[in-house]
Amino acid sequence: MEEARRAVIVVGHRNPDTDSICSAIAYARLKQALSGREHMPCRAGAVNPETQYVLEKFHIPVPELIEDVRTQVKDIEIRKTKGVRSNISLKKAWTHMKELGVVTLPITRDNRLEGLITIGDIANSYMNVYDSAILSAARTQFVNIKETLEGVVVVGDEKNYFDQGKVLVAAANPDLMESYIEEHDLVILGNRYESQLCAIEMNAGCIVVCDGAPVSMTIKKLAEDHRCTVISTPFDTFTASRLINQSMPIGYFMKTKQIVSFDLEDYTDDIKDIMASKRHRDFPILDRDGRYKGMISRRNLLGMKRKEVILVDHNERSQAVPGIESAEILEIIDHHRLGSLETIGPVFFRNQPLGCTGTIVYQMYGEAGVEIGPEVAGLLCSAIVSDTLLYRSPTCTGVDKEAAEALAKIAGIDTKQLAREMFAAGSNLKKKSEKDIFYQDYKVFDIDGTTMGISQISSMDVTELTELKGRMTPFIEEMKNKHKVDMLFFMLTGILDESTEVLCDGTGGVQLLEQAFPGCAVSELSVTLPGVVSRKKQFVPALVMVMQGGM
């Protein structure tokens, strides 16, 4: 049924910016409105201060963090085999398995897994030769004996346990019986009054009267006085003696050690080999709190469905949430260059040369005839203001500006005031660590086999950027080695003066920038690029042109 289907994940790139987060939220709401199916906005990394400000301003909760979109145990069909109590009989367990069509039963208590029992375990219990004390050693409840023998408890409490003595069949005369019946024994016998009397007087713990024979009032009274349980069964003594071991509780035979169980959050890639290496057919599933949830087998993995994902604001595999190669990508909504991402099948791919993914989402609301509320309008407007640096970025088009101003009217905000507040929240860098600053907007690009890490920070405060340069210069070398990229660039972008100073690390980095941006100002380990503010529209394309021999 449609209602039971998993939510579609709508997620942007790693180290998400305001456009990535806001577009994911807005597009998830649009898709849900159009399809009726749940679409869940997510994030692939930490929310930066600018985005946090925007979400708080428009009273939107931070999207759920998703760190991997590989298929998990919770994504496959889990058999809801109900757990049974450890004190039910082997016969009852066997019947239950046949009714359910399963070969393994989970034994639970208070929804916690205590053990497992399989059809093989029950079959072995029937085939193995046990001594006559096995029934009491297993602490068999009288109710189990009654149910297994399809009888009734004539005297005694069926909730009590047979936990002492052995099981005997009284085939001899009473004189001989006295020589082998001991206190607490369970005696299977027929309708002979003398045999019943003898067993009770020898302090048997229980007598089983076969063939449905009536139990006299005298025997009942004597049994009560001697605290002897009396069970009447319609079976003959041979059948009763053959069946009685099936009344033992499954708890005595269940596996409790070295049980292989899996967590709902486990990835199927990680459990496949474990399942293949074990002879078990079924494996219990627990939640993160250790509660039993159901069973799976190797067969369940054959029909598992991949997570369904919609990507916004990127189409690069290196920027996508981990595990994307194992997910089913349904759509891509983006405004960047075409990247290296491959899909399993055809997808809806909308890519427009605009300054912001939020602008595309705004267009799609209009095309679908879905009204944009003030909250979504505020998010999309913030995304456009952020990505275009309030229309200063060369990536900005007239379409972006028109969309932002229209959204601002719906949200009841002023774009200039919003920009000042957003950029102030995002550029308060003094209290942030070098690591936080570096990862605020970091992406990796692969250009003709050369990997480049590019981080960018923007600020309206020139003094703040100057101080930051001194802090970040030694740090980027550490980051280059950590990420094992060929070159690393850190862009310090001034919003007001519309220029960027680039810190470089990696052989040939400065020379590459000199070729890509003729006339740039070069100093030790940094290059100043007047008029350059956009990584996507200006910086990366210029590097690509040089490396592909276009300049």
Cα separation, 54 vs 20, in Å, equals 12
Cα separation, 9 vs 309, in Å, equals 5
CA distances (Å), 305 to each of 186, 223, 231, 257, 463, in order?
55, 63, 53, 32, 53
**What is the assigned CATH class of domain 2-71+307-426?**
alpha beta
The pLDDT of residue 181: 87
For residue 162, give the 3-state DSSP assignment. Answer: strand
Across 406-422, b (16+ Cβ under 10 Å) vs e yields bbbebbebebeebbebb
Looking at CATH, the fold of the domain delimited by 434-547 is given as Diaminopimelate Epimerase; Chain A, domain 1 (3.10.310)
Q: Please write the tens of the pLDDT for every residue from 478-535.
A: 888 888 899 999 999 988 788 999 999 888 889 999 999 998 989 877 899 999 998 8
Q: CA nearest 320: which of 348, 299, 340, 345?
A: 340
Report yes or no: 339 and 359 within 8 Å, Cβ to Cβ. no
Place of tokens 């009714």: 99
Report yes or no: 73 and 263 within 8 Å, Cβ to Cβ. yes
What is the CB-side half-sphere exposure of residue 363 using CA atoms within 13 A?
Answer: 16
Report yes or no: 503 and 473 within 8 Å, Cβ to Cβ. yes
For residue 250, what is the enclosing H or E element? Answer: none
The pLDDT of residue 1: 30
Place of tokens 């709508």: 10
Q: Please write the tens of the pLDDT for every residue from 297-355.
A: 888 887 778 899 999 999 988 899 999 998 999 999 999 888 878 888 889 999 999 99
Residue 29 falls in which region: left (phi positive, over 0), alpha (psi -120 to 50) or beta: alpha
245 DSSP assignment: G
Task: State the amino acid at position 342 in one-letter form.
Answer: E
Chain-centre distance for alpha carbon 393 = 40
Calculate the dihedral angle through the C-alpha atoms of 85, 86, 87, 88, rounding to the nearest 10 degrees. Answer: 60
CATH of domain 73-88+99-123+253-302: 3.10.580.10
Task: State the amino acid at position 44 in one-letter form.
Answer: A
Report yes or no: 100 and 81 within 8 Å, Cβ to Cβ. yes
Task: State the amino acid at position 477 in one-letter form.
Answer: E
CA distances (Å), 92 to each of 21, 97, 137, 160, 237, in order?
55, 9, 19, 18, 21
**Number of other CB atoms surrounding residue 174 within 10 Å:** 18
The yes or no reply on domain 139-247 and CATH 3.40.1390.20 is: yes
Cα separation, 177 vs 190, in Å, equals 13
How do the domains of the chain map onto residue ranges? 2-71+307-426, 73-88+99-123+253-302, 139-247, 434-547
The pLDDT of residue 75: 87
* DSSP line for 184-216: T-EEEE-S-HHHHHHHHHTT-SEEEE-TT----
The pLDDT of residue 5: 67
The length of the chain is 551
Averaged pLDDT in 10-residue chunks for the chain of 551 residues:
68 94 98 96 94 96 95 89 93 92 93 92 78 91 96 95 92 73 92 89 94 92 95 95 93 91 91 84 91 90 86 92 93 89 87 96 98 97 94 92 97 94 80 86 87 89 85 88 90 88 90 92 87 89 86 49
Cα separation, 57 vs 390, in Å, equals 18
Let me know the angle formed at the C-alpha of 459 by 457 and 50, rounded to the nearest 5 degrees: 75
Cα separation, 274 vs 172, in Å, equals 56
CA distances (Å), 407 to each of 374, 375, 384, 411, 415, in order?
8, 10, 10, 6, 9
Place of tokens 């605009």: 354
The residues, any chain, with a CB within 8 Å of residue 398's CB and separated by 6 or more, are none
Cα separation, 307 vs 298, in Å, equals 19
For residue 191, give the 3-state DSSP assignment. Answer: coil
Cα separation, 388 vs 59, in Å, equals 23
The residues, any chain, with a CB within 8 Å of residue 170's CB and separated by 6 or more, are 177, 181, 187, 188, 189, 190, 195, 198, 199
The pLDDT of residue 2: 36
9 DSSP assignment: E
Cα separation, 87 vs 369, in Å, equals 62
Across 337-373, b (16+ Cβ under 10 Å) vs e yields eebebebeeeeeeeeeebbbbbbbbbebbeeeeeebe
